[in-house]
Amino acid sequence: MTVLEATRSNDKSVAVPNKASVVKSGVGYRAEQGSDYEPGVSAETVGSKSLWLGMITLPPGTRTRAHVHEYHETALYMLSGDEMELWTGDQLQYRDTVRPGDYIFIPTNMLHGEPRCQTCRIHRLTQ
């Protein structure tokens, strides 16, 4: 049983206090914002309180809906794909172009969204 399966079944026997956890790649899901997530380290997999680390893929021609992360800052690294636009600010008034190899920092509670991107693959580290 993986940590994710144990967490979903409410079985705490896999997560051991005072011990590091190794999370194997697993099944992802489509988030409400429109991107595909493959969680690695998260509240669901290891009981993390403020950190999410995993892979995000924007399916071709899709975008993420504007949203905020209430409880944590977000750091991203764009692994591959076409350049994408990142819109931020209270009215989404700021536009940046993100390309593979770029890092992104989004403060807590900052409204943001990513318009259409052809096959973007992003490494996300959230704390």
Domain ranges in the chain are 3-10+28-126
Residue keyed to tokens 């931020």: 88
User: How far apart (Å, rounded) are the C-alpha atoms in residues 18 and 82?
Assistant: 41
Give the side-chain half-sphere CA count within 13 A for 105.
1
pLDDT in tens, the chain (127 residues): 444 555 555 444 455 678 888 888 877 888 887 788 888 887 778 887 777 788 888 777 777 888 888 877 788 888 888 888 888 999 889 999 989 999 988 888 999 987 655 556 565 555 4
Give the CATH number of domain 3-10+28-126. Answer: 2.60.120.10
Q: Which residues does 14 contact at the CB level (< 8 Å), separation at least 6?
A: 1, 2, 3, 6, 7
Q: What is the 3-state secondary structure (H, E, C) of 48-90?
A: CCCCEEEEEEECCCECCCCECCCCCCEEEEEEECCCEEEEECC
CB 18 within 8 A of CB 40: no
**Is this prediction's pTM over 0.75?**
no
User: Quick one: pLDDT at residue 9?
Assistant: 53
User: Quick one: pLDDT at residue 117?
Assistant: 56
* Cα angle for residues 39, 66, 94 (degrees, 5° grid): 115
